[in-house]
Amino acid sequence: MTEPTTDEPATPTSPRNRLDLILALCAIFISAVSLVVAIQQSRTERSLVAADTWPYLQRILNNEYDGHRTIAIGVSNDGVGPAKIKSVAMFFDGRPVASGIDLLRQCCGLDTGKPIPPQLPGGFESSIVDETVLRAGQDNPMLKFHEAEGSSAVVDRLRASLLKISFKACYCSTLDQCWTSDLRTTAITPVAECKPPEHPFDPNGR
């Protein structure tokens, strides 16, 4: 014959145990709040750093440059941080341009079968822009065409055709945040990284 079991009476929770539990829960809550605040502060600080290092490239299409009758074609950094320029592709009337000479051939009737200096008596200068760093407030005229005494049909045509030139650029900040841009509008597109352009532009090429 088995003896009937009797339930043990519940041990009452002492006031001290309840206090310890409340303190433990408070500590967990405070730790969680501190973690959330720390994460939010970190995000805010990163946003501030990103704002302080934000580059913003714009095109240069000028009939005069540095106070001279020089046609300048290039890019400027109107942002607040350095721009790591990965690539700048150029187009004329929607067609890819391979070089400065190719631009003059497409737009302005440059005859590459003849000597170039007589067709450009003022001469021209070119500057590499891909894989360079442009400081805030700095510009890089990739191409400069100087006007000499008298007229040059090629330069005159170029001057009249500047607005047919367009660009596609990809550049990054010092935080490796990258964007693509047409350098004309304020619309820039964030990208994970800059890929090689489909139609590279070499200012010094033929």
According to the model, what pLDDT value does residue 12 have? 57
* pLDDT tens profile 81-116: 999 999 999 999 999 999 999 999 999 999 999 999
Q: What secondary structure letter does DSSP report for 93?
A: T
| % the chain with pLDDT above 70 | 85
According to the model, what pLDDT value does residue 202 have? 96
Given a cut of 80, whether residue 20 has pLDDT beyond it is: no
Given a cut of 70, whether residue 4 has pLDDT beyond it is: no
What mean pLDDT do residues 62-83 have? 93
- Which residue shows structure tokens 């590499």? 128
Mapped onto helix, strand or coil, the DSSP state of residue 54 is: coil
According to the model, what pLDDT value does residue 34 have? 73
Distances (CA, A) of 147 to 65, 72, 144, 160: 11, 11, 10, 14
Mapped onto helix, strand or coil, the DSSP state of residue 65 is: strand
- Which residue shows structure tokens 């509008």? 185
- What are the residue boundaries of the structural domains of the chain, listed by start? 20-52, 55-191
* pLDDT tens profile 146-204: 988 767 899 999 999 999 999 999 999 999 999 999 999 988 999 999 999 999 999 99
